[in-house]
Amino acid sequence: MELNRKQIVVAITGASGSIYGVRLIKSLMTLPVKVYLVVSPSGRQVMMHETGYAEGPLDPFLREKGAIFHESAMIDELSPDDFSAPIASGSFQHDGMVVAPCSMNTLAAIANGITDNGIHRAADVCLKERRPLILLPRETPLSLIHLKNMVRAAEAGAVIMPPSPGFYHRPQTIDDLVDTVVARILDHLGLAHDLSPRWGG
């Protein structure tokens, strides 16, 4: 484990709400953090629909979107097909994994121990190694299968964090809304931020 720089795994899968993943990475890049980023093929497709992203590595896209990089922040973008990536092994230590957004497909794989891509495998490793795993499942309404998969994942140690923003600080923009969710993710990863006002703060 690196001494001063936290290492966080971020996966973006094919549920609506890729803005949560993008905003999370932008926030992480302002800190001395190394992000191991994996985007599923469907995640990439949805991101193209929902943001200005158009193929290729995400680093230039994030910079285009105004990301400010801390001097020791970096992104290592990995292929979801790469089972030899560090994050696929329990011996590689990191500080937690976030799946934002998490499709029902990826949720089902994680909840049932099916590891047919690098995202599922990295999440499976988090559960077996008892490392933080935060899932932002997005679908509505939820079937009983979706609900049961969330329970299974939670029982195995995942934090289920549906991306449902709070409104009590009167958000004015979409970014304000998204930040209320990203702030909770950073709280769970133990990373300092001032993204969103705190109740009673």
Ligand X SMILES: Cc1cc2nc3c(=O)[nH]c(=O)nc-3n(C[C@H](O)[C@H](O)[C@H](O)COP(=O)(O)O)c2cc1C
Q: Is 157 exposed, middle or buried (0-12, 13-18, 19+ CB in 10 A)?
A: middle
Phi, psi of 149 (to 5 degrees): -65, -35
Closest approach of ligand X to the CB of residue 119, in Å: 7
Site for ligand X in 122-141 (CB under 6 A): 138-139
Closest to ligand X by CB, 105 vs 115, is 105
Contact pick of 40, 149, 180, 196 for ligand X (by CB under 6 A): 40
Stretch that binds ligand X, among 70-78, 102-110, 124-132, 157-165 (CB under 6 A): 102-110
Stretch that binds ligand X, among 61-69, 89-97, 101-109, 186-194 (CB under 6 A): 101-109
- Cα 127 from chain centroid (whole Å): 15
Stretch that binds ligand X, among 88-96, 103-111, 121-129, 178-186 (CB under 6 A): 103-111
Site for ligand X in 9-28 (CB under 6 A): 13-16
| Distance, CA of 135 to CA of 163 (rounded, Å) | 9
CA distances from 9 to 2, 88, 160, 167, 198 (A): 14, 11, 16, 28, 26
Site string for ligand X, 142-181 (x = CB under 6 A): ----------------------------------------
Closest approach of ligand X to the CB of residue 131, in Å: 20
Question: What letter represents residue 5's amino acid?
Answer: R
| Distance, CA of 115 to CA of 20 (rounded, Å) | 24
Stretch that binds ligand X, among 8-16, 67-75, 88-96, 192-200 (CB under 6 A): 8-16
Residue of 159, 160, 161 whose CA lies nearest to 130: 159
